[in-house]
Structures are given as structure tokens and as C-alpha cells.
């Protein structure tokens, strides 16, 4: 039995179509990622899965139960961490965890094992108010609170937004550990680099799913060779590439610009000569492996083109 099964869900808010024909399924013990920019519909989808919103059309089952009809049975089996960090700032770390354990009818000691790897890091500060924790620690406490009742499915809505790089990495390591315990995890993120750690990834854009696959397949499905070009003056470089007759796409990725050509095989020598003519004498050009970000950009271009 899949942990989540969704069949062509639609949801609109007044005149905004938040979700259009969304279908997917998540297996038990799978770490499933939703990747998409802000406003893509991720939070709306999460709120349907956690039974707080009712879809306009389509059906969704969570752990084999319908999200509309059986919401009362589903709720205790879910762990939900909303995007906006929300714990009681004026209660201590321990009091927060105790409270969320008790509203789900359990105690800390009952499920301590499950949260121990995360919560043990917080225990030295267990008497500190949640409002006085650092961003990374708040996130860990929120995850502990979402886990304390031993849910079968974990819904994490942008858990790492606004968290520093080190804490993000730690957080994802915890998710991978949790997955091993058989908990299905659905996580949404705007960060492409986090997608690599998911079992499967769904790319979502403006309320529609563009592609669902493993991170590896998504990357392999990318058919064009990519060149990484670097220059001191990235802006001038980007302007120059736009003038080049063979340019298919050019997006800045950190210090490099990821560049693809309309031709099957890009001609690096011709490109370098063209750039030199356009006053860029320090261009470094090398072949790079495509990443999920490249796929996402390419898919977005296709969507826009087909519209």
C-alpha cells in the first residue's frame, strides 16, 4: 500500500488556480521531494495532504485513507511541520515537546528512541525558551515535535528555508536516518541541491507537476551537453552569450554560466573566439555534468514555450 496516492487534484482560491491536475504516489519509507519556486503550490498541496484543505476535484489517500472522509483517523498518524516555524516561543524546549506529545496522546519517554538522535542535541538546552534558540536548533525542535507521536508519514513544508548551510546538511542527514525507520517523508524545498538526497523528486511549477523521477534519471534525461563558462565580468559575459548565434540557453549558476548550444556538439574553440571578439579575454570554458537545476530550468523553458 503506498503511503500517499493522489489522483488529479485541482484546487483554486478565488481566481488563482493553485493546483492543476496533480497526480503522484509515495511509497512506504520513501523520501519524496517537491522542488519548485515560491508560489508553485507546494504549501497548498501539503495542506490538502494533512487534511486542513479540501481539494476542489480529485481524490487523495494518505496511508490508505481518504483525506476528506477519514481526516480524523489520518491526523494522529501524520507529522506535520509547517513552513513558518511555529512553536511556543515562551515555553522551554522540553515544555514544547511535552505539550505536542500530550496533544497527540503520548509522552516523551514513550517515543524517546525515535526522536533521540535529534533531541539529544537539544537536551543541553532543554530549559531554554524556544524563542531564544538559534535557527538550526529551532528547526530540530520543530522536527522533534512533529515526530514525537511516531507518525507514519512526515510532511515537511520547506523545513530548511532560512537555515544556515551547516544546519541544513545536518537536517537532511536526519531525514535520511528517519527514512530508514520506515517513515515515509514528503518534503518540499526551493533548494535544488537538497533534491539529490531524495529517492524521488517531483518538479512543480505554477500548480502543475512537470516531471517525477529519481534525481539521477532527471539528470540523465537531460540531453544536451553543458558548458560552464567563467569570467570576471559575469554580466558582460551573459550579454555576449545572448548575441551568439548558437546559444540555446545561458543561466548563471554561482560563478559559472551554464551554457547549451543549439547544435548537437558545442564548438568550444568557436565560442572562445566569439567571446574574445566581444571583449571577454579571460573566459574559462569547461564541460560540466548537468544537475537538477539544469533540468528544472530546461523544463521551465519548455513550459513557457508551449504556453
Chain residues in the site for other proteins (CB under 8 A): 50-52, 72, 75-76, 78, 80, 82, 84-91, 95, 99-100, 102-105, 145-146
* Residue 6, beta-bridge partner list: 24, 60
CB of 75 to other proteins, least distance (A): 5
Residue 103 or 116: the one with the smaller Cβ distance to other proteins is: 103
CB of 132 to other proteins, least distance (A): 13
CB of 2 to other proteins, least distance (A): 21
Residue 77 or 238: the one with the smaller Cβ distance to other proteins is: 77
Residue 134 or 220: the one with the smaller Cβ distance to other proteins is: 134
Residue 148 or 237: the one with the smaller Cβ distance to other proteins is: 148
CA distances from 116 to 174, 178, 241 (A): 11, 11, 52
CB of 23 to other proteins, least distance (A): 24
Q: What residue has cell string 548537468?
A: 290
CA distances from 131 to 89, 118, 141, 183, 289 (A): 4, 18, 11, 29, 42
CA distances from 245 to 210, 260, 262, 266 (A): 29, 12, 9, 12
CB of 44 to other proteins, least distance (A): 14
Residue 92 or 205: the one with the smaller Cβ distance to other proteins is: 92
Exposure string over 196-207, b if 16+ CB within 10 A, otherwise e: ebbbbbbbbbbb
Neighbouring C-alpha atoms within 13 Å toward the C-beta of 137: 18
Residue (of 62, 48, 60, 49) closest to 12 by Cα position:
48
Residue 80 or 222: the one with the smaller Cβ distance to other proteins is: 80
304: which residues sit within 8 A by CB, 6+ positions away?
none
Amino acid at each position: 500500500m503506498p503511503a500517499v496516492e493522489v489522483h488529479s487534484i485541482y484546487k483554486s482560491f478565488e481566481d488563482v488556480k493553485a493546483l492543476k491536475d496533480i497526480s503522484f504516489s509515495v511509497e512506504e519509507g520513501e523520501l519524496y521531494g517537491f522542488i519548485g519556486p515560491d508560489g508553485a503550490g507546494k504549501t497548498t498541496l501539503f495542506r490538502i495532504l494533512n487534511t486542513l484543505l479540501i481539494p476542489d476535484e480529485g481524490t487523495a489517500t494518505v496511508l490508505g485513507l481518504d483525506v476528506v472522509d477519514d481526516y480524523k483517523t489520518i491526523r494522529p498518524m501524520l507529522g506535520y511541520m509547517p513552513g513558518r516555524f511555529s512553536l511556543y516561543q515562551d515555553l522551554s524546549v522540553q515544555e514544547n515537546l511535552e505539550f505536542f506529545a500530550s496533544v497527540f496522546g503520548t509522552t516523551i519517554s514513550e517515543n524517546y528512541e525515535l526522536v533521540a538522535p535529534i533531541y539529544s542535541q537539544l537536551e543541553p538546552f532543554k530549559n531554554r525558551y524556544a524563542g531564544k534558540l538559534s535557527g538550526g536548533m529551532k528547526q530540530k525542535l520543530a522536527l522533534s515535535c512533529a515526530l514525537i507521536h511516531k507518525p507514519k508519514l512526515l510532511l515537511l513544508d520547506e523545513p530548511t528555508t532560512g537555515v544556515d548551510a551547516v544546519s541544513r546538511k545536518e537536517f537532511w542527514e536526519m531525514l535520511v536516518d528517519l527514512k530508514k525507520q520506515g517513515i515515509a517523508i514528503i518534503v518540499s524545498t526551493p533548494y535544488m541541491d537538497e533534491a539529490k538526497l531524495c529517492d524521488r523528486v517531483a518538479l512543480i511549477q505554477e500548480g502543475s507537476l512537470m516531471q517525477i523521477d529519481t534525481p539521477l534519471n532527471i539528470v540523465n534525461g537531460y540531453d544536451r551537453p553543458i558548458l560552464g563558462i567563467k569570467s570576471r565580468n559575469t554580466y558582460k559575459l551573459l550579454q555576449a552569450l545572448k548575441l551568439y548565434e548558437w546559444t540555446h540557453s545561458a543561466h548563471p549558476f554561482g560563478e559559472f554560466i551554464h551554457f547549451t548550444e543549439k547544435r548537437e556538439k558545442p564548438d568550444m574553440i568557436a565560442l572562445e573566439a566569439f567571446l574574445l571578439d566581444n571583449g571577454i579575454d579571460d573566459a574559462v570554458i569547461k564541460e560540466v555534468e548537468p544537475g537538477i537545476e539544469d533540468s528544472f530550468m530546461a523544463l521551465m523553458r519548455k513550459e513557457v514555450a508551449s504556453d
